[in-house]
Amino acid sequence: MKRRTFHMPNDLRHVDRTVLSMKACVEPSLGASALLRFEISVTEALVNLVKHATTSDAAAPIDIELHDADNAVCVEICDPVGAAPFDVRDHAPSQNAADPLAENGRGLGLIVHCTDHIAYGPKADRMCLSLTISKSGD
Amino acid sequence: MIQTTTHDAGITIVRPGVERLTAANAKTFKDDVSQLIKSGASHLVIDLGGVSFVDSSGLGALVGIYKLIGLRGDLAVSGLQADVAQMFRICRMDGVFRIFASVEQACENLAGAL
């Protein structure tokens, strides 16, 4: 298993650069469809944190771990310091239920739609979101 | 940010001028195009041929532009790359926007309805 860590400044301007760096790491091991699902879900998860997770230390980076295992790629994204727990699974509308003419509110549904497994729980002193993208079926 | 050209039939072609239309730039994109519409542009083709990735914020900006044009004009999008087309399908945007393979086809369609 390959493991990489990333520390993204808590700022929207850094999301794309971070996602592209992560994508480059998994590009050799994911098919085109899985790679897009990876890119969408990680982008939406990071944007959601930067836009909505209130932190007591805005200067602290968002910590991310990328695990590239035999059968799947897993991304662990830790909530910013002091953020209230937020489990996307409890708030994500299904893609079919979403209003196609809404200008926002698609992100959480996309995270759920594009991942094969989601977990959310404590890790050390933080809560972490874990997104798994399977390598099979692509 | 946006780049615009005008087609013979009075159709304005808008290119976002970015490779990724995402939360980092979606608001600027929407504000720029909204200004264009308020300045009188009513028939728009948004050419996404140079855009390789669109996130939910980018889609939201496109929907906002679509709603702003409303009945005062017409809107089409063109040139979707494979990943952008897939994002449109996932979010059912292919049922909202008229989508054309090329900017020329989009202009031809809009011009025919003028």
- Report how far apart the first and last C-alpha atoms of chain A are (Å, whole number): 20
Separation CA A41–CA A35 (nearest Å) = 10
Torsion of CA B81, A117, B56, A59, to 10 degrees: -120
Q: Which of residues 35-74 of A touch B (CB under 8 A)?
A: 36, 39-40, 43-44, 47, 50-51
- Which one is predicted more confidently, A10 or B8? A10
Domain-wise residue ranges, chain B: 3-113
- Are A47 and B23 inside 8 Å of each other by CB? yes
pLDDT tens by residue, A7-20: 999 999 999 999 99
Residue A115 has pLDDT above 80, yes or no: yes
User: pLDDT tens across A44-53, in order?
Assistant: 999 999 999 9
Quick check: A81 contacting B, CB < 8 Å?
no
The CATH class given to the B3-113 domain equals alpha beta
Cα A57 from chain centroid (whole Å): 20
Is B55's CB within 8 Å of A43's CB? Answer: yes
Q: A137 falls in which pLDDT band (50, 70, 90)?
A: low
Please determine, for residue A135, whether its predicted confidence score (pLDDT) is greater than 90: yes
CA distance B35 to A100: 24
- Least CB-CB distance to A12: which of B24, B53, B82? B24
User: Which chain B residues are closer than 8 Å to A33 by Cβ?
Assistant: 86
Q: Is the pLDDT of residue A138 over 80?
A: no
pLDDT per position as a tens digit, B30-86? 999 999 999 999 999 999 999 999 999 999 999 999 999 998 899 999 999 999 999
Own/partner long-range contacts of A70-74 (Cβ < 8 Å, ≥24 apart): A70/A1, A70/A135, A71/A134, A71/A135, A71/A136, A72/A116, A72/A117, A72/A132, A72/A133, A72/A134, A72/A135, A73/A26, A73/A29, A73/A30, A73/A34, A73/A38, A73/A132, A73/A133, A73/A135, A74/A130, A74/A131, A74/A132, A74/A133
State the pairing for strand pair A126-134/A117-123. Answer: antiparallel
For residue B15, CA distances in Å to B12, B26, B53, B100, B103 come to 10, 13, 14, 14, 10
Q: What is the mean pLDDT of residues A28-40?
A: 96
Q: What is the pTM of this model?
A: 0.95
The single-letter DSSP state of residue A98 is: S
